[in-house]
Structure 1
Amino acid sequence: MRLIGVLGYAGLLPFVFFVVSAFFKTAWLYLNPFFAFVSYSAVILGFLGGVIWGRQLGTSDTASSAPALIFSNLFALVACLALLISSFGLSLIGLSLIVLSLAYVALLIAERDLLFEQRQDYPASYPTMRYWLTGAVVGLHLVMLWLYYN
């Protein structure tokens, strides 16, 4: 679990980097920090949806795993939608940030309801880590949203 925790919290670093870059109005390798933030966020949301998918592969009861499998695909589609919205122009980055923020909260609720309470093979500290990481990620999205509109 130690490596999972280190990797989980290290995953916040690109979010923080792009927020700092947006705050100081700097581009890294000529990349707009708002678009980079949305892109990274979409990738991470898709990855987390894939984690739900992967957790269901080991179950033999397909009827009880169906909601989790469907949700895992929905989160990947929402991530793609947010990325596509932002690709239409920087004027729509704010909408992408809102969509992604809501998706992270919905993902945590789905994980809690579909996985954490039903499966006992998670390390005890994993749900707590996910709550902290989701709170940090959503908070960084809100900071980025504020920077975008100011």
Structure 2
Amino acid sequence: VVGKLGLALAYVPIQAATGLDGALQAIARQNCDALIAFPDAVMLANSSRIAKFAAGAKIATVSSWGSFADNGFLLSYGPILQDGFRRLARYADRILRGVRPDELPIELPRTVELVINTRTARALGIKIPQSVLLRADRVIE
């Protein structure tokens, strides 16, 4: 799909927060149009900083946790973390009551949400179609 769209991919790994500056510099040198942040503790803790860098470099940002969009990313699409935490608590309760973990079914996220940050879109000069905004679960103005 990427090749058909005329896009190129660049993988820039970040193992720890100490590597973030170097990674952002590498992204800037590659003249990227978009950045997909894989959600983990390092990325979440630095999501506002990454969003600020991306806005200055006119790079669209995407992740799969809504809090990234809350912190300035263009959009997020993924599971609602709070739902997962609630299910985790139910699982822990059942295990503490004696149910063996291997007897519990594997659960997938039941809901996903699309969060669009229109403030970031405006700053990047991106017009989000009304049809997409209407499909969003949350729109950050």
- Normalized against structure 2, the TM-score is what? 0.30
- Normalized against structure 1, the TM-score is what? 0.29
- For CA contacts below 8 A with separation 6 or more, give which structure has more relative contact order: 1
Which has the larger strand fraction? Answer: 2
Which has the larger helix fraction? Answer: 1
**Which has the larger Rg?**
2
